[in-house]
Amino acid sequence: MSDLHEDIFDEESADARHSRRHRRASEARSSRRGGAGCLAMILAAAVVLVAIFFAFGSLRSLVPGGSGPKDFEGPGRGSVEVDITSGMAGSAIGETLVEAGVVKSTSSFTEVAMAQPDKAASIQPGTYEMLKEMPAADAFERLLDPANRVAKGITIPEGLWRSEIYAKLSKGTGTPVSEYEKAEKSPKLKLPEEAGGDVEGWLFPSTYEFEKGTTAVAQLNTMIAMTSDHLTEAGVAKDKWERTLIVASIVEGESGAADRGKVARVIENRLKDVNGPTVGMLNMDSTVHYIFQGRGKAGTTDEMRASDSPYNTYKQVGLPPGPINNPGGEAIKAAGNPDPGNWLFFVTVNPDTGETKFASTQREHDNNAKEFDQWCADNQDRC
């Protein structure tokens, strides 16, 4: 019984072993076929990817800016003006340069700027003369050099009336004069209370570079702030700001650089001398010229001096109600700290040279005035 069982088991085991060998051989053949298939698929995919890569490269070459270097090789050509405004980030500057044809791509410029953040932060607003088709690094360095800024400053001389200042600002910025006149009444105008709502006297004479698009209000605010700064630097108390500007404007209108302090002293002496020869009146031609808004003539006429305007210091005692022009820093200093002296009179005996003579008595002044009368006789078209 045991021998039969053993024979049967042995036969079944042989068949099983044969079946297993057959399966392993079949699996091996199948595995070899599968491996070869996978390899073929990988190679085919690689060929497709390479084809796509080169095809994409060909397509990029058909798209403007889609191929080639992202930076110009330089050194640049021609010239173009570029406006850099306040608060521009590196990318915004890059875009502006791209639009102007200066650099080839925004990224080429921003990469240079990001590598040198301290220098990038020092780029100042303004108009710059640049080259077209520059390497980004060269464009960056050019913006750092103030010598490449195009001077577009508006120079406002001392002693101008606001109407004259508006004309100069309008010419320099393209902003209509009417916009400055409207700005006087704007709630955004930062005119000190001491001014009493009148900008005359508060528009500081200097050279200004206003960015493109700066509003009339913003321009006037810049000038007003400059006046406030100079009054503070001169040590003038805030409650004396308007009076100081009135005196400074007369000084500016009546004297040259050498005589500002003396003219300021004459003004103060006359204001105090209410019982003296001028009975507290200033008798200043510059205030009369302001009434008639006229320049070019030395002296005034009897008809002009008869005006009832509160600015007529030939008829009104004391200071006029407001500044008669817009004085500069030196006139403000002179008004705040006049030269010591007892002069009550002065006359510019030669308007061509600016020679001015001062006197403490009427007789002395009358003698000096004869020299001016002679100058007028010799220059009748100018008096």
pLDDT in tens, 135-186: 999 999 999 999 998 877 899 999 999 999 999 999 999 999 999 999 999 9
Provide the pLDDT for residue 69.
65
- Pick from 185, 205, 233: which residue ends a domain? 233
165 lies in the same domain as 261: no
260 lies in the same domain as 217: no
Report the C-alpha gap between 342 and 368 in whole angstroms: 17
| 92: CATH | 3.30.1490.480
- The answer to whether residue 28 is domain-embedded is no
Give the structural domain span for 121.
77-148
Look at residue 357 and give its three-state secondary structure: strand
Eight-class DSSP state of 149: B
227 lies in the same domain as 246: no
Q: Which of 263, 237, 238 is nearest to 248 (CA)?
A: 263
- The answer to whether residue 218 is domain-embedded is yes
Kindly report the pTM of this predicted structure: 0.71
294 lies in the same domain as 168: no
182 lies in the same domain as 278: no
Provide the pLDDT for residue 267.
98
Q: Average pLDDT, stretch 37-49? A: 46
109 lies in the same domain as 161: no
Q: Are 249 and 323 in contact (CB under 8 A)?
A: yes
170 lies in the same domain as 268: no
In this structure, the strands spanning 126-132 and 77-84 are: antiparallel
- The answer to whether residue 47 is domain-embedded is no
Q: Which of 152, 141, 147 is nearest to 210 (CA)?
A: 152
Mind listing the pLDDT tens digit for each residue in 279-314? 999 999 999 999 999 998 888 999 999 999 999 999
Q: Are 130 and 148 in contact (CB under 8 A)?
A: yes
Q: b or e along 185-223 (b: 16 or more beta carbons within 10 Å of the residue's beta carbon)?
A: eeeebebeebbeeebbbbbbbbebbbbeebebbebbbbb
- Reported as a pLDDT band with limits 50, 70 and 90, residue 8 is very low
How many domains are contained in the chain?
A: 3
Q: Average pLDDT, stretch 364-381? A: 95
- Reported as a pLDDT band with limits 50, 70 and 90, residue 51 is very low
Report the C-alpha gap between 369 and 73 in whole angstroms: 73
243 lies in the same domain as 369: yes
More confident residue, 349 or 58: 349
- The answer to whether residue 284 is domain-embedded is yes
Percent of the chain with pLDDT over 90: 73
Number of helices and strands in the chain (H, E): 14, 6
Q: Are 332 and 248 in contact (CB under 8 A)?
A: yes
Task: Tell me: pLDDT of 123 over 60.
Answer: yes
